[in-house]
Amino acid sequence: MKISRIVSLVIVLIAASYFLVPLYATFQFSLQMLRGQWSFQAYRSVFADPNFLSTLSYSAVTSLVAILISTLIVVPTTYWVRLKMPRVKPVVEFITLLPLIIPPIVIVFGYLRLYGSDSLLPLTVSSAGTNLMLVIGYATLSLPYVFRSVDNGMQTLDIRTLTEAAESLGANRSTIIFRVILPNLRAAIVSGAFLTFSISFGEFVFASLLNRPAFGPYLVQIGQDRAYEPAALAVLSFALTWACMVLMQIFANAKPGASRRRRGAAFNPLARRKTA
């Protein structure tokens, strides 16, 4: 008994230091821009760079549009599959999980060739088309997470019974979807949204190969040119990821049904659902 407790304490301490030392070191490093004193000079320099704000807002907008697209596709599909076609669920599930298996660079390479200048649908020629490609790409990358989150939400909701109950009370389809299903699914959708945001926000491969003025390529650029600003940017990015996750947790727990899930489950769209 005692030995296993000491061993696990040691393991936990090692893991904690592995996780925390880089965070602290990065923060300390970001304060050392001015020789011989601590300062927020690196942060001031970051915020003073017009490219920082422009790429940041570009990425924020593209991430939000991606969230919109993936939600619009995943929510009705999941609802429909659960309600009407439970037999195709494994197929849908398999497709939504493909982006976890196929490397992003392969997917974007496919886009570049399939929708390149000499294709039938030359999306990548115009700026608007390329922007569309980027948000579609992010929506694709987010499929596994959004699907998982929404599907879990519907699982706990038992949407079939809810739908039948609403129907028996005389509600029509749109009433059911907008007044019954969506309000109850809000937590699950928001969870998926924050995950999508944290993934696509600093994404590099798609943005770089599609040549978009996004935050990821900007980060790489700064990394090559500067010494202290990257550390400041890393701290800011970590804070942003953390904020996304905390907000997700708050939203996930704000609803009845979602609160029954084990603590941390909302952070963890990949976890096995409890089979109890």
Per CB under 8 A, contacts with other proteins among 133-192 are 136-137, 139-140, 143-144, 148, 155, 160
Rounded to a whole number of angstroms, the minimum distance from the CB of residue 262 to other proteins is 8
Rounded to a whole number of angstroms, the minimum distance from the CB of residue 266 to other proteins is 8
Q: Which helix (H) or strand (E) holds 154?
A: helix 127-157
Cβ proximity of 59 and 216 under 8 Å: yes
Cα–Cα distance for residue pair 196/202, rounded to 1 Å: 11
Task: Please say which residue, 180 or 215, places its beta carbon nearer to other proteins.
Answer: 215
Q: What residues between 189 and 228 interact with other proteins by CB under 8 A?
A: 195, 198-199, 202-205, 208-209, 216, 219-220, 223-224, 227
Please select the residue that binds other proteins; options are 43, 52, 111, 251, rule is CB under 8 A.
111
Cα–Cα distance for residue pair 180/169, rounded to 1 Å: 12
Cα 198 to the chain's mean position, in Å?
A: 4
Please select the residue that binds other proteins; options are 242, 250, 256, 260, rule is CB under 8 A.
242
Q: Which of 275, 198, 210 is nearest to 244 (CA)?
A: 198
Q: What residues between 64 and 83 interact with other proteins by CB under 8 A?
A: 72-74, 76-77, 80-82
Cα torsion 227, 233, 239, 245 to 10°: value is -120
Report residue 140 as tokens.
């694709």
Long-range contacts of the stretch 237-244 (C-beta < 8 A, 24+) = 237/202, 238/23, 238/26, 240/198, 240/201, 241/198, 244/194, 244/195, 244/197, 244/198
Please select the residue that binds other proteins; options are 53, 102, 165, 250, rule is CB under 8 A.
102
Task: Please say which residue, 61 or 243, places its beta carbon nearer to other proteins.
Answer: 243
Stretch that binds other proteins, among 13-21, 52-60, 166-174, 179-187 (CB under 8 A): 13-21
Q: Does 254 bind other proteins (CB under 8 A)?
A: no
Stretch that binds other proteins, among 43-51, 167-175, 178-186, 229-237 (CB under 8 A): 229-237
Report residue 131 as tokens.
């922007």
Report residue 193 as tokens.
């949204």
Q: Which of 244, 128, 137, 125 is nearest to 193 (CA)?
A: 244
Strands (E), the chain: none
Total chain residues near other proteins (CB under 8 A): 103
Rounded to a whole number of angstroms, the minimum distance from the CB of residue 49 to other proteins is 15
Per-residue binding string, other proteins, 28-67, x by CB under 8 A, is xxx-------------------------------------
Q: Give the phi and the psi of residue 225 in degrees, each rounded to 5.
A: -95, -30
Task: Please say which residue, 50 or 263, places its beta carbon nearer to other proteins.
Answer: 263
Please select the residue that binds other proteins; options are 129, 130, 238, 257, rule is CB under 8 A.
238
Rounded to a whole number of angstroms, the minimum distance from the CB of residue 146 to other proteins is 12
Sign for the CA dihedral angle at 34, 37, 43, 47 comes to negative
Stretch that binds other proteins, among 23-31, 54-62, 180-188, 253-261 (CB under 8 A): 23-31
Q: What is the DSSP string of 23-34?
A: HHHHHHHHT-SS
